[in-house]
Amino acid sequence: MTSRIGILGAGGRMGRAIIEAVRASDGVTIGGAAERPGHPCLGESLGGTMTICGNPSAVAHNSDVLVDFTTPDALKSNLDAALGAKCALVIGTTGLTGAHLETIDQASRDIAVLQTANTSLGVNMLAALVMKAAAALDTDWDIEVVEMHHRHKVDAPSGTALLLAEAAAKGRGSPLASLAERGRDGPDSQRRTGAIGMASLRGGSVAGDHDVIFAAEGERMVLSHKAESRETFARGAVRAARWLTGKPAGLYTMKDVLGL
Ligand SMILES: NC(=O)C1=CN([C@@H]2O[C@H](COP(=O)(O)OP(=O)(O)OC[C@H]3O[C@@H](n4cnc5c(N)ncnc54)[C@H](OP(=O)(O)O)[C@@H]3O)[C@@H](O)[C@H]2O)C=CC1
Ligand SMILES: O=C(O)C1=N[C@H](C(=O)O)C[C@H](O)C1
């Protein structure tokens, strides 16, 4: 069955990469594409009579699954569009708060929703390895998550850094909120035993680098992932959208798609 994918944030970096990935993939077509009202790309042709519009609801009604790579502020209207059309939804947007996650959870009682900070196979495999290492190594091993992204990225730490830190915290058997040390600065910044530190670098065109460092006296282990381009994320998003098509209401992750 061909899956019709509606692309939200179609004029953005990921939106454009996803349009290309859908065109290059079998078993999927573009159901429609939306951008925020007033965006310069509104009306841009996607081939035939299809153009980028300002109405996510119209896109949802012509799609089997929506793919949202926009901003946290757009989440509510994107969820409403999906709920109104009973359309499945893949959410790749990062920078989400607890309140956003609660709204997503509620929506997933009525429609299939997949939320993930990273659609790549490598990062999701890395998270599994990080959890295992964090569980096996005691607190003599300090855990630090370091990420680097392009100069345009607005949120920090990256959603993926948080996902990896969550995996480490799970391995250590404690909630991340009780272990995380974010944005150290100033004279009283010494790490606590058992803390999970996080640091963010920004610059140039880096698609997405993540290192999880396990540092002990005299030795250091680094579990690392580097995305070479956005194509990786776009291909993963299309794979997730195809997988989610026709699934019952519920909240899914990339682990479900990849069978990890
Ligand atoms: N899960 C994953 O694997 C990945 C997640 N991401 C995440 O995806 C998100 C988008 O990243 P990226 O494409 O680089 O960012 P961009 O800023 O390039 O794209 C976001 C697009 O969404 C548009 N937008 C803003 N508000 C709305 C709205 N209300 N409705 C529809 N569109 C809207 C923006 O318009 P304007 O620019 O005019 O504001 C922009 O065109 C980020 O949160 C990023 O962290 C990125 C890569 C991989
Ligand atoms: O904004 C980006 O570019 C990326 N965002 C995601 C994140 O915040 O983890 C995923 C990827 O690293 C690229």
CB 78 within 8 A of CB 258: no
**pTM for the full predicted model:** 0.98
Bridge partners (DSSP) listed for residue 198: 145, 182
pLDDT score for 106: 98
Pocket test for ligand 1, best of 19, 78, 94 (most atoms within 8 A of CB): 94
Span 106-126, average pLDDT: 98
Distance 165 CA to ligand 1 centre (A): 23
pLDDT > 90? residue 24? yes
Point out the ligand nearest to the CA of residue 254: 1
Prior bond of 157 cis (ω within 30°): yes
Cα separation of 10 and 55, whole Å?
A: 12
Bridge partners (DSSP) listed for residue 201: 148
pLDDT > 90? residue 185? yes
Span 83-102, average pLDDT: 98
115 touches ligand 2 (CB under 6 Å): no
**Both tokens of residue 29?**
């077509």
Span 58-62, average pLDDT: 98
pLDDT score for 39: 97
Q: Average pLDDT of the chain?
A: 98
Span 58-73, average pLDDT: 98
pLDDT band at 255 (very low <50, low <70, confident <90, very high): very high
pLDDT digit string, tens, across residues 155-181: 999 999 999 999 999 999 999 999 999
Span 31-58, average pLDDT: 96
**Both tokens of residue 15?**
């939106």
> Exposure of 215 by Cβ count < 10 A (0-12 exposed, 13-18 middle, 19+ buried)?
middle
pLDDT digit string, tens, across residues 223-252: 999 999 999 999 999 999 999 999 999 999
The C-alpha R_g of the chain, in whole angstroms, comes to 19
Question: Could you tell me what percent of the chain has a pLDDT over 70?
Answer: 100
CB-facing half-sphere around the CA of 258: CA atoms within 13 A: 19
Report the complex ipTM.
0.98
Query: Number of helices (H) and strands (E), helices first, in the chain?
Result: 9, 12
51 appears as a binding residue in the annotation = no
pLDDT > 90? residue 1? no
Q: List residues with catalytic annotation.
A: 149, 153
Q: What is the DSSP string of 175-226?
A: -HHHHEEES--STT-PPPTT-EEEEEEE-TT--EEEEEEEEETTEEEEEEEE
Q: Which residues contact 49 (CB under 8 A, 6 or more apart)?
A: none
Cα separation of 161 and 95, whole Å?
A: 11
pLDDT score for 212: 99
Bridge partners (DSSP) listed for residue 197: 144, 181
Pocket test for ligand 1, best of 8, 35, 225 (most atoms within 8 A of CB): 35
What lines the ligand 1 site, CB under 6 Å?
8-9, 11-15, 34-36, 39, 69-71, 74, 92-95, 116-119, 159, 233
